[in-house]
Amino acid sequence: MLFVCLGNICRSPMAEAVFRKLASDRGVLDQFRIESRGTGAWHVGDGADPRMVALGQTHAVDLTGHVVRQVSPQDLRDFDVVLAMDRHNLRDLQSLGVARGREIVLMRAYDTEDTEPDVPDPYRDGPEGFEHVYQILLRSCGSLLDDLLKGE
């Protein structure tokens, strides 16, 4: 399971942490390899955005150990499921090529309440933008996990 956004500081690390928590809460964490990456290299080696880390703490979702990494073509061969946070990142990932049997999908394909295709980037938003993204990711990760567990 690889979650991908632009800088790997907001959306994708939160998706990784939310999915990890949901899988842990259900006792199935050991069934998944869960990581996140960014399509850009600006923040490589940094931690998650402090605003997202703080929001995670309010929801008991831990992002404190996150280290930003950039996605590589090898990642697209190593992960069976790759989830892009928006259409721009989807195009960037597709330009790297997709290994046989792998698929890259939009994260919001799993959103049970909204048909908007993109998880908005909260980087320039206030706290309400970060909370909105958290709620989208909580719904989408829950639905994704349900789908994966049905397919066992």
Q: Which residues are catalytic?
A: 5, 11, 121
- Name the residue among 63, 105, 112, 71 with its Cα closest to residue 86: 105
Residue by residue, DSSP assigns 94-152 as: HHT---TT-EEEEGGGG-SS---S-PPP-TTS-HHHHHHHHHHHHHHHHHHHHHHHHT-
Measured CA to CA, the distance from residue 6 to residue 71 in angstroms comes to: 10
Q: In what order do the strands lie in the sheet with 35-38?
A: 35-38, 2-5, 81-84, 103-106
